[in-house]
Structure 1
Amino acid sequence: MNEKILILGAGIIQVPIIKRAKSLGYVVLVLDGSADAPGMKLADHSFVISTLDAASALKVAIEYQVNAVLTTSDYPVNVVAKICAQLNLIGISPYAAEICTNKYLQRELAVNNGIQSPGYDKLNFNHLDHYTTKLNYPLIVKPLDSSASRGITIIHEESALPEAYAQAKLYSRTDEFLIEEFVGGKEYSLEGLVQDGRLHILGITEKFLEESEGMEFPVEIGHICSIVFAREIQEMISNFALSVIQAFQIDNSALHLEFKLNENQIYLIECACRPGGDFIASDLIPLSTGIDMLEALINIATGQKLNLKRSRDTYAGIKFLDRNNYGRLTDYLHQSPDPSISKFSIEEYKDVPLKSSLDRLGYFIASDKNKDRLIAILDGK
């Protein structure tokens, strides 16, 4: 096979898709702003180019006559879409990419299309002197374009707003940010693929959150996939996902759709046109369903029809280490690892507070037919 795939990003998030594309026989090109990114040495051709440098990425794509362009992280999505549009390659459209990387545009489209979501307001960092919110506390303050929970704060009173603004500004590439009402209930993510307008739901992941140390928003400390609901709830979630992809015009893309269920009401939290991170796409979906999500994503980008067959029906989960559980869980993993644990990685201990997913210190992945037993394994019991 001489077909070439250009992957934007060579960090730890992209390593699984780089390896999968190589194993399928593709010539793999990667670009990343860091020469030391772990995926650089795995590719056939690597380029030290920012994933946000659309002009340089396009030059590489043209010079090497690539057959597909893709990414598995948020920031390069717009560049992927532009290259696909300019070279007539299969991929997400520039319109959908812009929506999926801007939290305010998602809120606006949701309201215009009858999709339930939190009350919100968009503010400018330079015009805050006389702003008084009309929204109901507690409130969430977040950058329009951040990821990994960076710069997100939950506040309960007006006096906390200035510090929340400052946190959002640290992680924003624009002059604007979002303020929205906090919605209670359990949070989930839907992992899917869209090809030629058809949505394929691969699994639903339940999130486990831990209060961050400081004002920031709770950080994801674990996930379990694939959650099954009663039929009427499952149908509601499917219809909700369809309404989102239609409103946002998402096609020929992965779908990572975050939502909350509160008293049988479903609320849009965020939508991304890339696979779920935190090893959801690379490990949890295959372990729980038998579906190779990364191969399927490559098949979409290269124009191959999806043929998704479930060969497993179990639960798979991941637990992250932080400074609070590090000692207990590292002892657990080293001394008596449960046979259900398929993979783990332990980083060197750092005495850093958990403020975002970047502050996690390792992880382990396990699977089990019984959800309660899996939760106990992930808790180190």
Structure 2
Amino acid sequence: MESVIPRIARDHDLAIIAITDRPTDLDGLPVDRVLVAYPRDAAAVLDAVAQTGIEGVDAVMSLGYENPPVISRLARLWSCPGVPVEVADRCTYKDLRIAALEQAGVRTPRFRVFRELAEAAEAAGALGFPAVVKPTDGTSSVGVSVVRDANRLPEAVAAAREATGRDALVIEQFVEGTEHTVEGIVADGVVQVAALSDRKYDAKHRFAPFVFEAGDDLPSAAGPKERAALEAAAAAAVSALGIDDSVFSTDLLLTPDGVYVLEVAARLSGSRFGTHLVPLASGVDIVDAAVRLALGETVDPTSLVATKSTFVASRYFPSATGVVTYVGDLAAQTWETGVVEVFWEQELEVGQVLDGYRSAKDMLASAIAWGTTRAEAAGRADRALAGLPLEIGLIGVDDV
């Protein structure tokens, strides 16, 4: 998503300071200064900033990364516009978020916050199986498991605990439905939706007990009534959490008996959603809106109105247990018409031993494509991933 940095710098006449733990990702980009720190570690980021003596920063924002608590603390340090620290924390940590949503009457799956396995077992007895066990921070379904019986609960709790540094964990009621992302902005308390997608979860149990999302489809196939319900739920969640003068992203579950709110973030969506998929599908530049809000400027509501309607699909290629026997150059590949981008999610090399899929952090590659129909866009993205210059073999004794 850092590929939008040149456009941000040019369109807003800004000098860019980047804080990242992967500085080589910024090679060749117009970044005036790079500070090396893990962007979700507030102490490390603030320490890196303190050592530079940087002053006079105009805006601070995240490019779809799950670190609003760090962003809000930097904004406070530099007296920049931004959501308050308590709001950023409330949006990011699941235990705080779902408690606030429940108090405001926003519908979420039934849940319990727990710290010990015995508490989880008691909660599962009340909620019933299947249930979902989650850490209270993080993204990409890291540490998330669908538990179908009590025998699997200890393993799921251990996986969630391993994925977080926080004591609190969450167990939720498992609810079936279609999943969607609503992304937009809220300014002066008014919510403006920029995009509504269908998240591809039809094979979510492929790597059970872990949850697999295969990508996104835009625009949503939801009808007018369903779209209105999804957008209303997103607006209610944003209001309940106190998000204002910010971009937002919500993950929602649409069921026959209504909408459930799953996730709410005071940031752009990740996985190139706002930077690539939204403008390709609708012509809406949600990144420009995010920058303007971070600068404390007014966003013209008409800038979030679609100027075109193109079917767009993103698809992800999950890791498999094995060893890389061949990996080629994506730049040397020829893709069919409509394939916009195919890119590695990880640096791969021959001889590398791969683990099986456990979360979205285990994606190996992604593809983005457009089409004149929903099926055409999805088919192009699927065929691009099927044609990856990648071969994975069985693991031998010498590979381990």
Check whether TM > 0.5: yes
Separation (CA, whole Å) in 1 of partners of 2:257 and 2:376 = 26
- Counterpart among 143, 146, 157 of residue 165 in structure 1: 157
Q: Does 1:81 align with 2:69?
A: no
SS of residue paired to 2:239: helix
Instruction: Quote the residue 2:34 is aligned against.
Output: 46
Residues 232, 62 of structure 1: alpha-carbon distance in 2 compared, 3 angstrom cutoff = farther
Q: Secondary structure at the match of 1:69?
A: coil
Q: What's the counterpart of residue 345 of structure 1?
A: 343
- State the partner residue of 1:195: 187
Structure 2 residues not aligned, in runs of 5+? 385-400
2:219 maps to 226
Instruction: Report the Cα offset of residue 378 of structure 1.
Output: 2.5
Equivalent residues of 1:341, 1:364 under 8 A apart: yes
**DSSP 3-state at the match of 1:70:** coil
State whether structure 2 residue 317 is matched by structure 1 residue 321.
yes
Q: Output the amino acid matched with 1:166.
A: A
Give the corresponding residue for 1:7: none
Task: Name the counterpart of 1:91.
Answer: 82
The verdict on how the C-alpha distance between 1:237 and 1:215 changes in structure 2, with shifts beyond 3 A counting, is closer
Which letter does structure 2 place at the counterpart of 1:365?
I
Tell me whether 1:64 sits opposite 2:55 in the alignment: yes
* Residues 1:285 and 2:283 aligned together: no
Residue number among 341, 348, 366 corresponding to 1:363 in the alignment: 366
Q: Which residue of 2 aligns with 1:267?
A: 260
- Which residue of structure 1 aligns with residue 391 of structure 2? none
Matched, 1:150 2:127: no
Report SS of the residue matched to 1:163: helix
Q: How many residues align?
A: 366
SS of structure 2 residue aligned to 1:187: strand
Aligned equivalent of 1:300, options 283, 293, 310: 293
- Deviation of 1:322 after TM superposition, in Å, equals 2.6
CA contact (8 A) 1:140 1:155 kept: yes
CA contact (8 A) 1:20 1:294 kept: no
Q: Could you say which residue in structure 1 is the equivalent of 2:393?
A: none
Q: Deviations over 1:120-169 (max 9, x none)?
A: 11111476597463112100000000211110000100111000011001
Whichever residue aligns with residue 108 of structure 1, its letter is A
Using the size of structure 2 for normalisation, the TM-score is: 0.83
Does residue 217 (structure 1) correspond to residue 210 (structure 2)? The answer is yes
The change in CA–CA distance for 1:93 and 1:227 in structure 2 (over 3 A counts) is same
Taking a change above 3 Å as real, the CA distance of residues 140 and 316 of structure 1, as seen in their structure-2 partners, is same
Q: Unaligned regions of 5+ residues in structure 1, if any?
A: 1-12
Match in the other structure for 2:172: 180
Q: Indicate the larger mover: 371-380 or 177-186.
A: 371-380
Task: Measure, in 2, the Cα distance between the counterparts of 1:40 and 1:336.
Answer: 25
- Name the TM-score, length of structure 1 as normaliser: 0.87
Q: State the SS of the aligned residue for 2:369.
A: strand
Change (3 A) 1:334 1:372: farther
Q: How large is the Cα RMSD of the aligned pairs?
A: 3.0
Change (3 A) 1:18 1:57: farther
Corresponding residue SS for 1:361: strand
Taking the aligned partners of 1:339 and 1:170, their CA distance within structure 2 comes to 43
Q: 1:108 aligns with which of 99, 102, 111?
A: 99
> Pick from 16, 23, 38: which aligns with 1:28?
16
Q: Distance in 2 between matches of 1:337 and 1:86?
A: 47
Q: 1:366 to 1:57 in 2, by over 3 A?
A: same
Counterpart secondary structure, 1:47: strand
Q: Relative to structure 1, is the Cα distance of residues 239 and 125 closer, same or farther in structure 2, using a 3 angstrom cutoff? A: same
Question: Distance between the aligned counterparts of 2:205 and 2:120, measured in 1?
Answer: 28
The residue identity in structure 2 corresponding to 1:345 is F
